[in-house]
Structure 1
């Protein structure tokens, strides 16, 4: 018995040792483009086992029971990674995981929909989020160009000579889209296109897009939607970043960014963007430049100050200068403003400042301030346009939760100054607009919430303005959400800040009456579905139905008189309605698929006659197909868009150009090599189909051989007459444009990043 008592504890110790020897170990590293990712959450599904990666991006699970596990790695700004792992008794397994930045992430924190930080899944307002990784799949020299791959959003070129444009959302014209930088409405009217140009990609945290009414929070210009460019917070920015590329057309673009510590409590972000294109090209043979020549520089700074209790305090500023021209191939600056050689030359100087300061109070109160000064000196042939616009903005918000109520109360003051040399502006526009707004999100039940908001503005030109909105969210589950949004809009129009067609060509601008403000009612229904599978596949689907009804809408009339652009309030209604859907699929093997489609019907009804809105496509589609060859450190991205027919502005019954554009597509392919530490080498081909709008048309610019109409014969009413030299009775007109004139071209670039 004594020997047996001695053997029992020995057997217990031995069995424990043998049992431990049967346990498994699972370790690995997580990287993105070769750079380690710290603080990534790693868990084994169905267990309570989870860890975070260390500063070197490494993790380890020890003493695991043998078996099969679903490993999930997740981090804000990256697509979730899932894979099935099998570990045997006593096995020590090592994993190399490469995370992919999210193109349109569902896990992001968004602020645009409600003016307060909230998970995108919890926001009662549908907000689409795009990170710089999405735009790197088709490198462009500006955010304006990059938005061509966002479903339901289209960069519209408004002039085939100067190539200026605006952003259409769900078929609505550019002036209905508000562009924000860090939530500040410093980009509007005269400077809209320039707000989407010159911000280095390295300093952009994400771009948030709201399709639908936002006037309750952001004022009159956010009738159809808004784009909010959010710059990085210093701790999230790389120490140094450089990205440069060149195209086969001779375009050069360089982005440089850096994070600089200015003491223990101050960080500085510095970014510089430079773009140059100075080779006149005329592939369509009309003696006009196919693409506007540009030389621009933008310098951006953002100061972040560390305060007690992590309160916010930041200041940012940007300076922008651009010299662009297009016109006859023999044009040089000495012909600027003359009537010998036609050219459109635009000098733009712009600076912006903005700041946010969280008050040192127990309550959450945020003071936001911004100011911008935009000066434009333009010559459209012998028509000079000299304009200045200044916008000042201040806003104080109070964020308060009381029981089931999540309140936001705010007051804003906006200062608008605008002056130009056109006959329509007899005196400078000098307006001060005070505003009050309140928003309440009510938690009706665990799965139901309701948001109501009301904004009051006072404009001395139009009196009291009220813009209410409402939103309802039904969260079926963590993976299924249904939202309804409705609201009203109010917009005051300034033609010459918004429509460059009013200044180009030989058409006379006719303003029939004192233009009244536009009003709108907008409804949007949205359904979002997420699917996670055990084999690592991630699927996201969302669909929206939208409807907007305008009254007093102001649209340019190109049809009544081919020699004029007539502006007046529509005596009837304008409707924009449609359906939009997005699908994103990510597979564990490195294949990613993102596609979107929008069908829309945008029409105007006056005197019982309904007509499609000019320069508005009937449908659009976008796609992004990516695959990563991990063994080769090589990624392939195939991106593209598809646009349905749109009605185009003709100059009369004899005009031989097509009344409707064809269905057309721009497609691109890119190869990116990530096998060098801190470097990415990329290259590819843009516009693979070599599509340009002159296909199927005898010409794009009417009377390009006579831009000052010196050889046009007019009748007593000012109408062009058909002559042997002018058989189609045309005048010079560059407004017939619906897409880029740039054909197929290669590109090559290099990125260098130090974290």
Structure 2
């Protein structure tokens, strides 16, 4: 009997060694509801109540790391020891700095995003991980008002549209240097490992007063990490059911006490030709790409800056008839578009050893392209050199910025449009004054002067006003001008494939734009701890001397000239970010726009420009299981498409279409993340609802097309629609539904 009693007592003790962990989560002295509080490495956890209190029952004795996590606030960790008594653990969470990032693009100096008079949108690598892609070009599809536009069904090259404006109006920079433009846009945005990106900053509207030509419609600045902020080792690789494989790897190391370096390598391969729309052409371009990136940071006296980065990029891509191989390159037996691309880049920032804060920033890129579009050879070379001195001079109530810059452009190709190489140096000077009027008001005044010996002097002033009536409200008004000195790169696939000829009717003058933008930012905190951020903008941009390709006058030509009239881009955009309890956060954005041109009193809608677009990202993290679910997507309204004539049976307007994706991520293993999901859940492709996408895919060399004396295709029995071969009818990707799986390893 004593023995039985002893066993019962011991069993009772065993079952009563589990204790309770209780506490309260607060922020700014108030209870915070719906906070996830859990014990790391276990399934034990709880969600705080309306008053911020929580309780975790049945916790066994031992030492734990307890975590309080709520999106929109900084995660807090504590180490606790659970013994024979209940334990109380309180948390006081502070707001995350997600709305107060440091930005540099709007004013050329590091300032708080909330303090900047210029509205700047900031996107972190975490944002792009919600829908992992092999390059930044594709990743931008989830940014409101920004659309990657494919320009060719066969080779899948393209450009970036901001607020409905064509790619040439968007300046893309790396670390603030304009090395990605013109010929190199789609290639320059490939091959930068996501783990090396600190953030991506987007400015919508003219920025020529700071950045010169090409920043007419907006700019995208890809900022790479400093070595001290990069992980010690990182690996990220994924593959999908179509056979695409992408791998990023890199590391950082200290070379000496005064120098450290990061090295990143990106490799992408797709060598599985598929033809799911049955036109005997590859649905997606085949690619074999490698990119090597290296960035150095040097420690100097008085914390002066000196960084140097370089990248080499090589790609072999082809698309065409399914039976094509390299033996057919340049021939007329089997149609293929084959592009060899080689480029290198150098970017640096050096602070001069003087008492004043003066920086010298410089960049250089060299891009070479060797391509065949069927039997038409295209070989293009582009070099861009850039340097600028910036003097940052803060005074009482004034923050002055002075700059001297020079840009060198070289472009040459083997086409008839480039009789001789285009080579020019454009010197510039600019000044900016950010004036603190009151604690709540700031005014920014700026002006830039550029001299182009082909066009003379160009002035671009701007004004920005910021009013912050409360801590949670910001109103910004921006107005200014922009300009674009046109370099007409004739890697124009509509012409090179033989369907259309490029016609330049006059000497092209610089485009001018006049813009006004009103932006309102509102933060809303609810009693139960929810956070909402509303960011709304309205804009109006007026262009003179606009150069818009004319596809309509002659179906066999693309005509370029200065518009004898005007072009207008106007619209509104709204972004709403919401942070809920239980690990849920959401963002949704929508843009409504009207982009048109008026010539000889006739107003027409710009081609390949949607009326509306929307993007969204919904995320839920289940902390006990360490699983995050991301649902992302976009939707685009109808846009006018380039047809080949009145008999062309393809739809004149694209339908409303959407790409949607889902991803599951598990991070319950130290330093590892496993992720996988499905892209293009709706299995949407542009061929749905159309008789075909590529015109005369069965006769890509137009061997069986009859022409009249003016070179126009004639309607015949085997060509009833009077078409020629044309792969430029494209507005969305041809890639259908696919599953993907990936693995990340990060050692900090």
Q: Same fold (TM over 0.5)?
A: yes
Instruction: Find the aligned partners of 2:364 and 2:595 in 1 and give their Cα distance.
Output: 35
Question: Which residue pairs with 1:204 in the alignment?
Answer: 197
TM-fit CA distance, 1:82:
8.7
Residue number in structure 2 paired with 1:722: 715
Within the candidate set 208, 214, 218, 1:221 is matched to: 214
Q: Is the 8 A contact 2:73 2:96 kept in 1?
A: no
Counterpart of 1:486 (choices 479, 485, 488) is: 479
Give the structure 2 partner of residue 544 of structure 1.
537
For 1:210 and 1:661, locate their aligned partners in 2 and report how far apart those are by CA, in whole Å: 28
Q: 1:738 aligns with which of 719, 723, 731?
A: 731
Partner of 2:285 in structure 1?
292
Partner of 1:345: 338
What is the aligned partner in structure 1 of residue 58 from structure 2?
Answer: none
Deviation at 1:702, TM superposition (A): 0.4
The residue that corresponds to 1:93 in the other structure is: 88
The Cα offsets for residues 260-309 of structure 1, whole Å up to 9 and x where unpaired, read as 11111111011000000011111111111110000000000000111122
Q: CA RMSD in A?
A: 2.5
Measure, in 2, the Cα distance between the counterparts of 1:374 and 1:261. Answer: 31
Q: Is the 8 A contact 1:172 1:224 kept in 2?
A: yes
Shift of 1:69: 6.7
Distance 1:116 1:327 in 2: 46
Q: Per-residue deviation at 1:717?
A: 1.7
- Among 415, 421, 445, the residue aligned to 2:414: 421
User: What is the CA deviation profile of residues 30-83 of structure 1, one whole-angstrom value per residue up to 9, with x for unaligned ones?
Assistant: xxxxxxxxxxxx985149xxxxxxxxx9xxxxxxxxx96799x999x9832599
Residue pairs, 1:504-583, within 5 angstroms: 504-583=497-576
- Please give the alpha-carbon distance, in whole angstroms, between the structure 1 residues aligned to 2:516 and 2:617: 29
- Tell me the distance in 1 between the aligned counterparts of 2:505 and 2:327: 37
Q: How far off is 1:534 after superposition? A: 4.4
Question: Helix, strand or coil: the match of 1:631?
Answer: coil
Q: Secondary structure at the match of 1:145?
A: helix
Q: Equivalents in 2 of 1:493, 1:140: separation in Å?
A: 31
Moved more, 505-514 or 392-401: 505-514
2:28 aligned partner: 45
TM-superposed CA distance for 1:101, in Å, is 8.9
Alignment of 1:219-258 (within 5 A): 219-258=212-251
CA-CA distance at 1:192 after TM superposition:
1.2
Q: Which residue of 1 aligns with 2:37?
A: none
Q: Distance in 1 between matches of 2:488 and 2:623?
A: 53
Matches of 1:679 and 1:483 in 2, distance apart? 42
Contact 1:625–1:638 (8 Å) recurs in 2: yes
Is 1:276 aligned to 2:276, yes or no? Answer: no
Separation of aligned partners in 2, 1:677 and 1:111? 34
State the partner residue of 1:708: 701
**Secondary structure, in 3 states, of the residue corresponding to 1:282?**
coil
TM value normalised by structure 2: 0.89
Counterpart in the other structure of 2:651: 658
Tell me how far apart the structure 1 counterparts of residues 572 and 713 of structure 2 sit (CA, whole Å).
42
Unaligned runs of 5+ in 2: 1-20, 31-39, 41-49, 55-65, 77-84
**2:688 is the alignment partner of 1:695:** yes
Aligned match of 2:298: 305
What's 1:33 paired with?
Answer: none
Question: Equivalents in 2 of 1:74, 1:358: separation in Å?
Answer: 42
> 1:505 deviation in Å?
3.8
Q: Is the 8 A contact 1:299 1:320 kept in 2?
A: yes
Superposition pairs of residues 328-343 of structure 1, within 5 angstroms = 328-343=321-336
Identify if the C-alpha distance between structure 1 residues 650 and 68 changes in structure 2 by more than 3 Å, giving closer, same or farther: closer
Whole-angstrom distance in 1 between the partners of 2:384 and 2:191:
19
Relative to structure 1, the CA distance from residue 318 to residue 82 in structure 2 (aligned partners, 3 Å threshold; closer, same or farther) is: closer
CA contact (8 A) 2:71 2:579 kept: no
Q: Which residue of 2 aligns with 1:368?
A: 361
Specify the SS of the correspondent of 1:565.
strand
- TM-superposed CA distance for 1:445, in Å, is 1.3
Q: Residue 96 and residue 477 in structure 1: after superposition, are their counterparts in 2 closer, same or farther (change >3 A)?
A: closer
- Does residue 386 (structure 1) correspond to residue 369 (structure 2)? The answer is no
- Give the Cα–Cα distance (whole angstroms) in 2 for the partners of residues 644 and 183 of structure 1: 32
Q: Give the equivalent residue in structure 2 for 1:54.
A: none
Cα distance in 2, alignment partners of residues 672 and 393 from structure 1: 41
Shift of 1:500: 3.8
Distance 1:98 1:687 in 2: 38
In the superposition, the TM-score normalised over structure 1's length comes to 0.88
Q: CA deviation at 1:224?
A: 0.5
How far did residue 193 of structure 1 move?
1.3
Counterpart CA distance in 1 for 2:627 and 2:637 is 34
Unpaired segments of 5 or more residues in structure 1?
1-24, 29-41, 48-56, 58-66, 84-89
How many Å separate the matches in 1 of 2:514 and 2:739?
Answer: 45
CA–CA separation in structure 2 for the residues paired with 1:521 and 1:497: 27
* Equivalent pair of 1:441/1:450 in contact (CA under 8 Å): yes
Aligned mates of 2:96, 2:506 — CA distance in 1: 52
